[in-house]
Amino acid sequence: MTSPRSLRLCGEILVWVRVMSLHKEMVFITTIVFVFLSLFSLAESSSRIVNLPSPLPHVSRAMEKPDFWIKKIPDPSRILMTPDEIRNLNDENLKRGDLYLCRVSDLKEEWTRDEVLDLLKEDWQGFRDSGEIRYDRNGNPLEEPFWSGLKTNLNQESLKEMNSMFLGLIIKRTDIRVFPTEECSLTTPGNNEFDRFQHSSISPGSLVGVYAISKDGVWAYVQTPFIRGWVRAAHIAIAKERRELTEYDEAIDRLVIIGNYVRVYKDPAFRKTLFLAQMGASFPLSSTTRSSKGTGRSYVVQIPIRGADGRLIIGKGYIPKGKEVQLGYLPYTQRNVARQAFKMLRESYGWGELHGGRDCSRFIMDLFNTFGIHMPRNSKFQAQIGTIPEEISGMSIQGKKRILDRAVPLATLLRLPGHIMLYLGKDHDKHYVIHSIWGVQRVDKFGPALEKIGKVVVSDLSLGSSSPSGSLLERITDIRYIGLEKR
């Protein structure tokens, strides 16, 4: 088997499989944690970084507007899936162990010592025992004293024969980490954009189950609806009774964030910000009230607050009327998908949401959350949602083009290993996508280089044609329609 370092010398790039789960099958996934492709990270062989222009080649300014693509669709407001069909899809996906989705409120209340140890072992085998040298944020190798201290902080010796799982709500946007540490794990010194200890970010109001606390008391080992890992314990408010959390999480009247980010205030006069809620987040709706200062009406939502004792208090948050929010989920139509996707255009790329950005799979996840469609966190698993128009394994470029000609724009996902995109449609014999991408490799007369993009962009599928691995179109392995049979 080709070694990771050899792959880098060939111009291939790191992609980290971040999704962890409760299932034992994850052992297999975490053993192949590092797949090297020509997307996302600075390869060691790249001596140059070239910033691509905006818009990208073959993309006009008009193509960066949702209406350009909406006008190409005969009936863009037709319903692709009803709310009942979406709920059924979500329920079926929850039953599938290969997607690693989880309904946290359904998790059992007691866990044996061996069960929790097995979860910790999966993490350690997947992200520690890779045999690869890793570096901290200062460029120093992570050596054995660091790993020993990290393992001690897992606090395995504190586990009892039976351990209660506490449920809580995240009170502020926070990172979920592979291990209980803020230290980075970098493939190459100085490549701080790709921290392999970073799983994802967790939004305020997210329900989590707590397995254990780190030895230093700073971190909690949690299960979220789409990933497992360590978050700051101070960012969780623990409920006294599960009923509190069930009522909060399953509230029917919810306010859904449909803007890229929407500010939630502490007071009805909108003077003090509590947090920024990102697209796809939702909160139980309390009521509508008028600001005491006469600044207009606001939505009042239930938000989690952490009391002095760490317990959950359900407080109030205020969102001004007129902001990009929706009572309930948006109807799932191509028009609405286009409008939502382009709200994130030019938003910065962030591996695991580092530095407040979005990576490719988080872009897809946040987009479909606004319709109530629950996506896995990893692009590989996202490409297993919905229906397959046709199997494309081993298919020629012309064959892939024929399938794309029949694909449903703005409801079809295109995946290549380590990356996922939303299909927009066709224009002048070129097929276009919108996606969050770090960059692509190219080789020219000056040698290898990284063509850096680092944001959400519109591109055609010829992007990367000068890469050693070929264009996006050449490398597509999965085409999925997010819906039932075509209507």
Higher pLDDT pick, 18 / 338: 338
Tokens of 169: 């709500």
Q: How confident is the model at residue 190 (pLDDT cuts 50, 70, 90)?
A: confident
Cβ-based neighbour number of residue 258 at 10 Å: 23
Amino acid letter, residue 111: W
Please check the confidence at residue 320 and state whether its pLDDT lies above 90: yes
Tokens of 35: 């797949």
Convert the pLDDT of each residue in 124-170 to its tens digit. Answer: 998 886 678 899 999 999 999 999 999 999 999 999 999 999 999 99
In 55-193, the DSSP E strands lie at 110-112, 162-164, 166-170, 174-177
Q: Return left, alpha or beta for 131; rule: phi > 0 is left, psi -120 to 50 is alpha, else beta.
A: left
DSSP, collapsed to helix, strand or coil, labels residue 255 as strand
Please check the confidence at residue 101 and state whether its pLDDT lies above 60: yes
Mean pLDDT of 11-26: 37
d(CA 246, CA 284): 12
Closest C-alpha among 9, 3, 11 to residue 470: 11
Q: What is the DSSP letter of 98?
A: T
Task: Give me the pLDDT at residue 127, please.
Answer: 84
Q: How confident is the model at residue 322 (pLDDT cuts 50, 70, 90)?
A: confident
Q: What CATH class is the domain 38-81+332-481?
A: alpha beta
- Crossing angle for the helix pair 334-342 and 360-369, to the nearest 10 degrees: 130
Convert the pLDDT of each residue in 347-399 to its tens digit. Answer: 999 999 998 899 999 999 999 999 999 999 999 999 999 999 888 988 999 99
Q: What is the mean pLDDT of the chain?
A: 88
Q: What is the DSSP letter of 311?
A: B
Convert the pLDDT of each residue in 120-137 to its tens digit. Answer: 999 999 888 667 889 999
Percent of the chain with pLDDT over 70: 87
d(CA 280, CA 394): 36
Please check the confidence at residue 16 and state whether its pLDDT lies above 90: no
Q: Where in the chain is the domain with CATH 2.30.30?
A: 254-327
Q: How confident is the model at residue 486 (pLDDT cuts 50, 70, 90)?
A: low
Q: What is the DSSP track for 194-236?
A: --TTEEEEE-TT-EEEEEEE-TTSSEEEEE-SS-EEEEEGGGE
Exposed (0-12), middle (13-18) or buried (19+): which is 459, by Cβ within 10 Å? buried
Q: How confident is the model at residue 3 (pLDDT cuts 50, 70, 90)?
A: very low
**Which of 167-171, 180-184, 242-246, 475-479 has the lowest average pLDDT?**
242-246
Whether domain 254-327 has CATH 2.60.120: the reply is no
Closest C-alpha among 272, 36, 256 to residue 264: 272
Predicted structure pTM score = 0.88
d(CA 370, CA 324): 11
Q: Where in the chain is the domain with CATH 3.90.1720.10?
A: 38-81+332-481
Q: How confident is the model at residue 444 (pLDDT cuts 50, 70, 90)?
A: confident
d(CA 241, CA 114): 25
